[in-house]
A = this chain, B = another copy of it.
Amino acid sequence: MRPDDANIAGNVHGGTILKMIEEAGAIISTRHCNSQAGEPCVAALARVERTDFLSPMCIGEVANVSAEITYTSRHSVEVQVNVMSENILTGAKKVTNKATLWYVPLSLKNVNKVVEVPPIQYARKEQEDEGKKRYEEQKLDRLETKQRNGDVILPVINPEPHTVSYSQSSLIHLVGPSDCTLLGFVHGGVTMKLMDEVAGIVAARHCKTNIVTASVDAINFHEKIKKGCVITVSGRMTFTSNKSMEIEVFVDADPFVDEPRERYRAVSAFFTYVSLSKEGKPLPVPQLLTETEDEKRRFEEGKGRYLQTKAKRQAQMQQAAQQ
Interface residues, chain A, with chain B CB atoms under 8 Å away = 2-4, 7-8, 23-24, 26-27, 30-31, 34, 37, 40-42, 59-60, 62, 88-91, 108, 161, 169, 172, 174, 176-178, 180, 182, 201, 204-205, 208-209, 227-228, 230, 254, 256-258, 260
Expressed in whole angstroms, the Cα–Cα distance for A230 and B34 within the complex equals 13
Rounded to whole Å, the gap between the CB of A245 and the closest CB of chain B is 14
A211 to chain B, nearest CB (A): 9
Tally of this chain's copies = 3
Contact B258 A62 (CB under 8 A): no
Contact of A208 among B89, B177, B227 (CB under 8 A): B89
CB proximity of A90 to chain B, nearest CB, Å: 7
Q: Which residue of B lies closest to A35 (CB)?
A: B256
B4–A37 CB distance below 8 A = no
Q: Is the CB of B89 within 8 A of A209?
A: yes
Please give, as numbers and ranges, the residues of chain B lying within 8 Å of A88 by CB-CB distance. 201, 204-205, 208
Residues in B whose Cβ lies below 8 Å from that of A176: 178, 180
Query: With A2-B4, A182-B228, A204-B88 as given contacts, are A40 and B257 in contact (CB-CB < 8 Å)?
Result: yes
